[in-house]
Amino acid sequence: MEKQNRKRDKQMLFRVTPEEKRLIQEKMRFVNMTNMREFMRKMLQKGYVVNADASEIKTLAAELQKIDVNMRQILRHVDTLGPAYAADAEEMRQKMKECWDMVRELFKECLRLSQ
């Protein structure tokens, strides 16, 4: 009995040698994939599979968050000193915004590569 309304309703079958199968499984392990169908689809559609690990970016974001909190405390104090340091404070805020924008772009690129 065939299921109705499948997104992928066409089946493709092909045969491989034991060596080819071993090589395919090795490459799947390398990119940390266990679903052979998904691996094959990605390889056939894109020609490559990327295992994008965002853990380093997450660590970077956590450290940047700590810096941001400290900087905001300092800027809150600077703001009470009057307009003399307003330009410096604004420059610091702008630099922090640029740092956050770069981290967001890294996350987006990592997500794009892993799809």
> End-to-end distance of the chain based on CA atoms, in angstroms?
32
Based on its alpha-carbon atoms, the radius of gyration of the chain, rounded to whole angstroms, reads 25
* Three-class secondary structure of residue 96 per DSSP: helix
Q: Please check whether residue 75 is in contact with residue 89, taking contact to mean a CB–CB distance below 8 angstroms.
A: yes
Whose CA is closest to 14, among 45, 38, 40, 33? 40
Q: What is the pLDDT along the chain (115 residues), one digit of tens a residue?
A: 556 778 888 888 889 999 999 999 999 998 888 999 989 988 888 887 777 778 899 999 999 999 999 999 999 988 888 888 888 889 999 999 999 999 999 999 888 877 6
Whose CA is closest to 20, among 40, 50, 45, 42? 40
Domain locations in the chain as residue ranges: 14-51, 55-114
